[in-house]
Amino acid sequence: MNNIIKHKKVMAKYLPLLLSVFLISMVGCETDDQQTVARFTELTLSEEFDTDGQPNPSIWGYEIGTGENGWGNQELQYYTDRSDNVTVQNGVLLITAREESFEGSVYTSARLITKDKFEQRYGRFEARIRLPYGQGIWPAFWMLGADIDENPWPGAGEIDIMEYRGQEPTVLIGSMHGPGYSAGEAISKEYELTNDRFDTGFHIFGIEWGPEYVNFYVDDVLYNQITPEDVPGPWVFNKPFYILMNVAVGGTFVGSPDEETVFPQTMLVDYVRVYKELEIN
């Protein structure tokens, strides 16, 4: 863990410069699929999880309870803000799903949000994460439109930077949801690792988002771009969004745990960073 902290401090110091050099070299270039690439080099959020204990309350809030609160997908966990389910240790955020009886549920976990604390329209959003594993385990790093209270889902829009079925530890999914293309009809694409697993090491999951596109990345590999022409309904991705991170248990996307699912299961988050686009005169 100490090596992780040293790595993070060095990278946090030099990453904006490195990104500037790397991305400037890419501007004007096109991939085989004609994707748009922009320069996102101005750091607007750098959450390095350098202080042990509860996550920084100026950045993170919590959603508490179950899907009966109006969100969820028939999941089985009760989300809490207890240190048993969410804590920072040795420079890493730990979100842990546990098998235990709590408030009428048989599993607990945590769901962190930046709603009303950090919201941004457009930019690069990324996190370095090691994922949990097992049948019925459903971690996610994602975003919702900040107007969701006035414009209920899916009207507010949703961008799933990374979601993953624990029983498929080499495959993740990036998706977008909006009016007319939500839930099972979301616009999605899978990314599969070769000779590796997402639960055995850290990987960087990110998007780059502009007025007319969202690019999806794993370890800086661009694997999908979604544009207004790709969605069968209105493009609702032109306003601020906020960040969510959670580990769900069960639900329609992954199914329930089985006798081979091992608990506890923890998602480890090394950092969360957000950039906005470099202004070009």
Domains of the chain plus CATH, in order, are 2-277 (2.60.120.200)
Q: What is the pLDDT of residues 52-109, one digit of tens each?
A: 999 999 999 999 999 776 677 899 999 999 999 999 999 999 999 999 999 999 999 9
What distance, in Å, lies between the first and last C-alpha atoms of the chain?
42
Q: Tokens 């081979």 map to which residue?
A: 260
Task: Give the H/E segment covering residue 19.
Answer: helix 2-26
Comparing 10-24, 146-160, 195-209, which segment has the lowest mean pLDDT?
Answer: 10-24
Per-residue pLDDT at 190: 98
Please compute the mean of the pLDDT values over residues 193-202 and round it to a whole number: 97
CA distance 70 to 258: 26
Are the C-beta atoms of 61 and 114 separated by less than 8 Å? yes
Give the Å distances, CA to CA, from 2 to 12, 151, 210. Answer: 15, 44, 36
pLDDT at 32 over 50: no
Please compute the mean of the pLDDT values over residues 248-257 and round it to a whole number: 96
CA distance 59 to 32: 38
Are the C-beta atoms of 125 and 117 separated by less than 8 Å? no
212 carries an active-site annotation: no
63 carries an active-site annotation: no
Beta-carbon contacts of 59 under 8 Å, excluding residues fewer than 6 positions away, are: 45, 47, 114, 117, 118
Task: Name the residue type at position 77.
Answer: Q
Query: How much is the mean pLDDT over the chain?
Result: 89
Are the C-beta atoms of 129 and 205 separated by less than 8 Å? yes
Per-residue pLDDT at 272: 98
Q: Which of 158, 185, 192, 208 is catalytic?
A: 158
Per-residue pLDDT at 106: 96
Q: Which of 163, 192, 259, 260 is catalytic?
A: 163
Task: Determine phi and psi for 250, rounding to 5 degrees.
Answer: 75, -170
CA distance 211 to 198: 30
pTM of this prediction exceeds 0.85: yes
User: Omega of the bond prior to 57 within 30 degrees of 0, cis?
Assistant: no
Give the Å distances, CA to CA, from 224 to 25, 142, 158, 197. Answer: 20, 16, 16, 20
**Nearest C-alpha neighbor of 180 from the set 235, 142, 138, 143:** 235
Per-residue pLDDT at 25: 35
